[in-house]
């Protein structure tokens, strides 16, 4: 039986093909799953999707009509999937509940340090043989305060790196992580964390309760010279409100690996096209903003674990086994 995998990156393809070898045939496509591409899946019982796939009701209806019975998403997040519709259609949906937290935590720190020390600006200058230091002054992280919103596995890994820098740690989550508390983290209300932190990093899932968690009032609560990093989900930040604050000259730096309207943009080459998204176009013009294309997870270690978990999810489906990765059916 052939499995159809949508949204496969070039670096990812050999890992997927090697992992499935000996189990199933797999056909890898670089196009993303949406209403236009969903008909391609006709006749495939199992499809695998990336985080930027559109798995809303309309797409799931097309998949089900074509014979698809299982969706294996290659990500932890699943806010792009209409689980109620999937359950109504009798489909099985699985995701990857765990992969290397260090991949994302380390990249979040790469963003933080890049905007703090003006690495991109410095690199651009030296390519033009401009070796002046004007405008490149950063700050020591040692002795400053890191605020971690979301202290699960990734947030904990981020906090451990911050602890290594010698930073004070503030945390906010629905449950306290004892490992973070052993590092000296104090859990405080969100507004207090925002007001006291020199660096704020987001490590939360996107759900209705966290949509635009960092909205206009939250941004105004932050220090004018703070650094904001988001390597989790774009919808955690109200981007229009962020642009307003940036236009007012606030924040030392903002590092974003995700964007709330990234679907249809990220993972694609749009270099020869006019970008219709005015908010994103404005965002990338700020000299203190660094935007990357949802690559925090993209290490050999993490992608290998994601692919291995996806293979296991498919085998579990075939054998009628249930694991913690199964989202639908819910019982």
- pLDDT tens-digit readout, 95-137: 999 999 999 999 999 999 999 999 999 999 999 999 999 999 9
**Position 22 confidence tier, pLDDT thresholds 50, 70, 90:** confident
Domain boundaries, given as residue ranges, for the chain: 2-99+299-328, 101-291
* Strand order across the beta sheet in which 46-49 lies: 25-28, 2-5, 46-49, 70-73, 92-94, 326-328
Q: The tokens of 32 are what?
A: 């993303």
Any idea what the Cα angle at residue 90 is, between residues 22 and 312, rounded to 5°?
25
Share of the chain above pLDDT 90, in %: 96
pLDDT of residue 288 exceeding 80, the answer is yes
Distances (CA, A) of 193 to 22, 105, 201: 50, 19, 11
pLDDT of residue 274 exceeding 80, the answer is yes
Mean per-residue pLDDT, 266-287: 94
* Cα distance between residue 1 and residue 48, in whole Å: 14
1, 2, 5: which is closest to 306 by C-alpha?
Answer: 5
* Cα distance between residue 1 and residue 300, in whole Å: 27
**Position 252 confidence tier, pLDDT thresholds 50, 70, 90:** very high
pTM of the entire predicted model: 0.94
pLDDT of residue 331 exceeding 80, the answer is no
pLDDT of residue 84 exceeding 80, the answer is yes
Write the CATH number of the domain with boundaries 101-291: 3.40.50.720
Q: Does domain 2-99+299-328 have CATH number 3.40.50.720?
A: yes
Q: Do domains 2-99+299-328 and 101-291 have the same CATH topology?
A: yes
Region of 173 on the Ramachandran plot (φ > 0 left; ψ -120 to 50 alpha; else beta): beta
> Would you say 41 and 66 are in contact if contact means Cβ atoms under 8 Å apart?
yes
Predicted confidence at residue 1, as pLDDT, reads: 77
pLDDT of residue 190 exceeding 90, the answer is yes
| Catalytic residue annotation | 233, 262, 294
8-state DSSP, 175 = S
How many residues appear in the chain?
A: 331
Quote the strand ranges of 56-215, DSSP E: 70-73, 92-94, 145-149, 168-172, 186-187, 199-202
Mean pLDDT of the chain: 96
Q: The tokens of 324 are what?
A: 């913690």
């Amino acid at each position: 039986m052939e499995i159809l995998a949508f949204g496969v990156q070039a670096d990812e393809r050999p890992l997927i093909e090697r992992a499935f070898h000996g189990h199933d045939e797999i056909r890898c496509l670089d196009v993303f799953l949406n209403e236009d591409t969903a008909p391609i899946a006709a006749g495939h019982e199992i499809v695998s999707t990336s985080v930027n796939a559109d798995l809303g009701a309309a797409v799931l209806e097309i998949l089900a009509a074509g014979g698809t019975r299982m969706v294996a998403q290659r990500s932890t997040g699943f806010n792009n999937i209409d689980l109620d519709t999937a359950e109504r259609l009798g489909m099985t949906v699985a995701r990857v509940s765990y992969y290397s937290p260090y991949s994302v935590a380390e990249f979040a720190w790469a963003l933080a340090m890049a905007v703090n020390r003006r690495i991109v600006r410095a690199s651009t200058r030296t390519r033009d043989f401009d070796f002046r230091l004007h405008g490149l002054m950063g700050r020591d992280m040692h002795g400053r305060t890191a605020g971690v919103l979301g202290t699960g596995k990734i947030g904990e890994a981020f906090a451990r790196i911050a602890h290594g820098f010698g930073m004070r740690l503030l945390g906010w989550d629905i449950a306290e992580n004892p490992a973070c508390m052993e590092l000296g983290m104090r859990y405080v209300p969100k507004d207090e964390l925002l007001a006291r932190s020199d660096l704020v990093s987001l490590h939360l899932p996107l759900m209705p309760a966290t949509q635009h968690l960092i909205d206009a009032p939250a941004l105004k609560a932050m220090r004018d010279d703070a650094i904001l990093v988001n390597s989790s989900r774009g919808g955690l930040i109200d981007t229009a409100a962020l642009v307003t604050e940036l236009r007012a000259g606030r924040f030392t730096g903002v590092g974003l690996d995700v964007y709330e309207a990234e679907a249809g943009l990220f993972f694609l080459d749009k270099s020869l096209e006019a970008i219709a998204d005015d908010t994103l176009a404005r965002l990338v013009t700020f000299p203190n903003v660094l935007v990357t294309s949802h690559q925090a997870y993209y290490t050999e270690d993490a992608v290998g674990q994601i692919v291995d978990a996806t293979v296991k999810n498919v085998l579990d489906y075939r054998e009628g086994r249930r694991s913690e990765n199964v989202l639908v059916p819910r019982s």
